[in-house]
């Protein structure tokens, strides 16, 4: 994951670190209310953080290539400024690494994880930054420390994150996650394939999570029952994943999707993509992440990945990622 010492144009050593994206296969939203959820890394997309030593007195300059922004650590910014989560990640990481004075560095970040689409773009960027800073200072951060740091950044992005995104991204393994409990890394029983289709619509997590909270406050009995059913699906899926039982997983994804529709986070665009994947032979499909927009994920036979990806594109997907989850 880490490489040190690549030469750059100035001849200074670079420290480079990466972090993958992720999808939630089961249990989003209900996980905020204490039910279990399952997420897996998506290694086809990743965030990258590069550190280069800078002349004395420069301070720490963050360059975010995709956002076209440059920010000097400590310069005044509002909390809704796009550089704010980056600044917070850097400060929290320096704190964890016990680096007292702000170092002279240029930190350049970029990412192929689509932003605000349920694939963990913010968490991946924060994990890459934490790893790069640790590496630069010759220190090691355990996955649990990376996870804690990313969680702090997720609070800025989302308000009340369950903790699943930072966990799966920091551990880079399939995880069975229950809020407040020790994480469980899942050893999947066989390789399985996913086709992930992007509606092209931003799905802001904070808004979807806030809307679900209001609905839950208005009708707690109904929502608690829906969350219970989603949680039960996630725990059945855990066993099916470990046993490599794709025949059970597909229908469980479809049931999970119906419940996500019932809690009000699906959309016609997501459902069009889900329908097209199922028509093309996927075993199961559902939205992934906060919903409303963002991505859907389908569980697909290895021999059907091309057909399902083509069907998703024909149905209007703005991007398709074919990924696989492996035994470790
Ligand atoms: O931020 P996203 O879209 O990857 O999904 C967040 C998952 C939720 O369950 C909706 C919220 C959470 O904090 O777990």
Nearest-angstrom CA–CA distance, 205 and 154: 10
Q: What is 15-185's CATH number? A: 3.30.230.10
Q: What is the mean pLDDT of residues 233-240?
A: 98
Is the separation of the CB atoms in 263 and 216 below 8 Å? no
pLDDT per position as a tens digit, 116-128: 888 999 999 999 9
| 11 exposure class (CB count in 10 Å sphere: 0-12, 13-18, 19+) | exposed
Instruction: Judge whether residue 47 has pLDDT over 50.
Output: yes
Residue 12's pLDDT is 61
Whether pLDDT at 262 is above 80: yes
For the chain, the structural domain boundaries read 15-185, 192-325
- Check if the beta carbon of residue 14 is closer than 8 Å to that of residue 1: no
Residue 5 reports pLDDT greater than 70: no
Q: What pLDDT is stored for residue 158 in this prediction?
A: 83
Q: Where are the beta strands (DSSP E) in 67-135?
A: 69-72, 105-111
pLDDT number for residue 204: 81
CA distance 270 to 290: 12
Q: In the prediction, which pLDDT does 51 show?
A: 97
Using most ligand atoms within 8 A of CB, pick from 85, 121, 153, 158 the residue to mutate for ligand 1.
158
Choosing from 22, 164, 234, 256 the residue with most ligand 1 atoms within 8 A of its CB, the one to mutate for a pocket test is 164
Contact (Cβ atoms closer than 8 angstroms) between residue 87 and residue 77: yes
With a Cβ cut-off of 6 Å, ligand 1 is lined by 24, 28-29, 31-32, 118, 120, 158, 161-162, 164-165, 205, 209, 289-290, 294
Mean residue pLDDT across the chain: 93
pLDDT in tens, 7-38: 444 556 799 999 999 999 999 999 999 999 99
Q: Which atom of ligand 1 is nearest to the CA of 119?
A: 4
Evaluate if residue 6 carries a pLDDT over 70: no
State the distance from the centre of ligand 1 to the C-alpha of 243, rounded, in angstroms.
Answer: 26
Interval between CA 35 and ligand 1 midpoint (Å): 13
Residue 168 CA to residue 22 CA, distance in Å, equals 7
- Pairing mode, if any, of strands 284-288 and 60-64? unpaired
How many Å lie between the centroid of ligand 1 and the Cα of residue 29?
6
Looking at domain 192-325, what is its CATH homologous superfamily?
Answer: GHMP kinase, C-terminal domain (3.30.70.890)
């Amino acid at each position: 994951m880490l490489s040190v010492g690549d030469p750059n144009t100035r001849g200074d050593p670079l420290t480079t670190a990466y972090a993958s994206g992720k999808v939630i296969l089961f249990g989003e939203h209900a996980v905020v209310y204490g039910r279990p959820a399952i997420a897996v890394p998506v290694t086809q997309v990743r965030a990258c953080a590069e550190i280069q030593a800078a002349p004395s007195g420069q301070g720490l300059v963050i360059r975010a290539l995709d956002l076209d922004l440059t920010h000097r650590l400590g310069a005044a910014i509002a909390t809704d400024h796009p550089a704010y989560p980056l600044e917070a990640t850097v400060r929290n990481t320096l704190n964890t690494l016990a680096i007292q004075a702000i170092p002279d560095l240029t930190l350049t970040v970029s990412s192929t994880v689509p932003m605000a689409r349920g694939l963990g773009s913010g968490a991946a960027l924060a994990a890459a930054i934490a790893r790069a800073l640790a590496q630069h200072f010759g220190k090691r951060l355990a996955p649990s420390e990376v996870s804690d740091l990313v969680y702090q950044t997720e609070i800025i992005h989302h308000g009340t994150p369950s903790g699943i995104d930072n966990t799966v991204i920091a551990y880079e393994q399939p995880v069975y996650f229950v809020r407040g409990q020790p994480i469980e890394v899942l050893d999947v029983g066989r390789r399985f394939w996913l086709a992930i289709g992007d509606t092209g619509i931003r799905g802001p997590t904070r808004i979807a999570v806030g809307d679900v909270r209001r609905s839950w406050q208005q009708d707690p009995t109904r929502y608690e029952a829906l969350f219970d059913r989603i949680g039960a699906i996630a725990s059945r899926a855990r066993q099916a994943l470990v046993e490599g039982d794709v025949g059970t997983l597909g229908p469980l994804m479809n049931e999970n999707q119906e419940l996500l529709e019932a809690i009000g986070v699906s959309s016609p665009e997501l459902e069009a993509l889900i329908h097209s994947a199922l028509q093309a032979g996927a075993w199961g499909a559902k939205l992934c992440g906060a919903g409303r927009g963002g991505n859907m994920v389908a569980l697909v036979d290895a021999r059907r990945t091309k057909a399902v990806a083509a069907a998703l594109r024909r149905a209007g997907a703005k991007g398709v990622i074919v990924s696989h989850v492996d035994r470790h």
